[in-house]
């Protein structure tokens, strides 16, 4: 018997809130894929990073959310199959890391493109961006191999236990909560500083580059906002793992907080399209033109706004 209403609230959030969340994420990322493959965008390395971000986000949302929806009306497959328990978190973890580090290298690319040195700027190219995306994916699926090796099922729970729970929390706080946001902030700050210097020197900056930078900064902010609560909760869970006198009420509260932090972390896969459309006027225009092209709305009912 439940002590609080939190399990009921969590179930409703999954059934209704997360369903909307999932639909918005899939639809938004599909629009991203269509827009970033158009001729205006596909000539820039940034578009490769944003397109890759959208494709990985679609896979990420489907891989992690479908099992959650299934478990609403069926038994949780993670508690029945050790192979599935290991595989689901392993793939989900690696995809999440790919999303974060694609954003990191998009920040680095924006910094490189603002440099005046030709040899440094030559490092920003579509070919290099494609190679980096594939390299990121390969590296994280190698680094994350410890997850399926050390995870297990105990007392009908699929997760980390004993010392590995603490080690995983430290690993997460460093490689999820600290390193990506720090790198994003460093290279975004350097890019903004360089752009300000160039503007002061009256060197023309293309509007497209400014809007791409806005889109990237919005993505950086959402990554920082979502990663900190998630990593902090992991550390709390590891520290209090050996507390044996937890009440039923405390356990329900901790389970709900864990769910909320996971709910937030899924934003990295849901938010990109809505961040881009709210921060970049050219992107909004492209989206409206796309709607006109497929005749979602009559032409005379669509008006662009600043």
pTM for this structure? Answer: 0.85
User: Which residues, other chains included, contact 29 with Cβ-Cβ below 8 Å and sequence gap of 6+?
Assistant: 54, 55, 57, 58, 61, 269, 272, 273
Pair type for strands 157-159 and 152-154: antiparallel
CA distance 69 to 172: 26
Whether the CB-CB separation of 232 and 277 falls below 8 Å is answered with no
Q: DSSP 3-state assignment of 174?
A: helix
pLDDT in the model for residue 116: 80
User: Which residues, other chains included, contact 74 with Cβ-Cβ below 8 Å and sequence gap of 6+?
Assistant: none
Whether the CB-CB separation of 38 and 283 falls below 8 Å is answered with no
Domains of the chain: 8-280 (1.20.1070.10)
Each residue's pLDDT expressed in tens, for the chain with a length of 306 residues: 667 888 888 888 888 888 998 999 999 999 999 988 887 777 788 889 999 999 999 999 999 998 888 888 888 788 888 899 999 999 999 999 999 999 999 999 988 988 888 888 888 899 999 999 999 999 999 999 999 999 888 888 888 888 888 888 889 888 988 899 899 889 988 888 877 776 544 444 566 667 777 888 888 888 888 888 888 888 888 788 777 677 888 888 888 898 888 888 888 889 889 988 988 888 888 888 888 776 645 555 545 444
* Crossing angle (nearest 10°) for helices 207-239 and 272-279: 140
- 3-class secondary structure for 264-299? HHCHHHHCHHHHHHHHCHHHHHHHHHHHHHCCCCCH
pLDDT in the model for residue 201: 46
């Amino acid at each position: 018997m439940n002590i609080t209403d939190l399990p009921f609230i969590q179930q409703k959030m999954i059934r209704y809130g997360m369903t909307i969340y999932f639909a918005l994420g899939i639809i938004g990322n599909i629009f991203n894929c269509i827009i970033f493959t158009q001729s205006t965008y596909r000539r820039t390395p940034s578009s490769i990073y944003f397109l890759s971000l959208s494709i990985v986000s679609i896979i990420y949302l489907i891989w992690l959310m479908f099992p959650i929806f299934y478990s609403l009306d069926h038994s949780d497959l993670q508690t029945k199959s050790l192979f599935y328990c290991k595989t689901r978190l392993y793939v989900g973890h690696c995809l999440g890391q790919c999303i974060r580090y694609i954003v990191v290298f998009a920040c680095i690319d924006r910094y490189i493109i603002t440099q005046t040195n030709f040899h440094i700027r030559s490092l920003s190219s579509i070919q290099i961006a494609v190679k980096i995306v594939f390299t990121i994916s390969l590296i994280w699926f190698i680094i994350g191999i410890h997850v399926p090796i050390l995870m297990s099922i105990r007392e009908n729970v699929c997760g980390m236990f004993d010392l590995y729970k603490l080690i995983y929390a430290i690993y997460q706080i460093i490689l999820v909560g600290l390193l990506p946001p720090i790198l994003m902030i460093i290279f975004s700050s350097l890019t903004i500083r360089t752009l300000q210097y160039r503007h002061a020197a009256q060197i023309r900056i293309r509007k497209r580059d400014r809007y791409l930078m806005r889109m990237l900064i919005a993505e950086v902010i959402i990554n920082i906002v979502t990663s900190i609560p998630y990593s902090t909760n992991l550390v709390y869970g590891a520290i209090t793992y050996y507390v044996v006198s937890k009440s039923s009420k405390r356990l329900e509260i901790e389970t709900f907080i864990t769910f909320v932090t996971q709910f937030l972390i899924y934003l990295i896969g849901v938010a990109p399209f809505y961040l881009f459309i709210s921060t970049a006027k050219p992107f909004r225009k492209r989206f409206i033109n796309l709607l006109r092209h497929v005749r979602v709305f009559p032409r005379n009912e669509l008006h662009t706004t600043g």
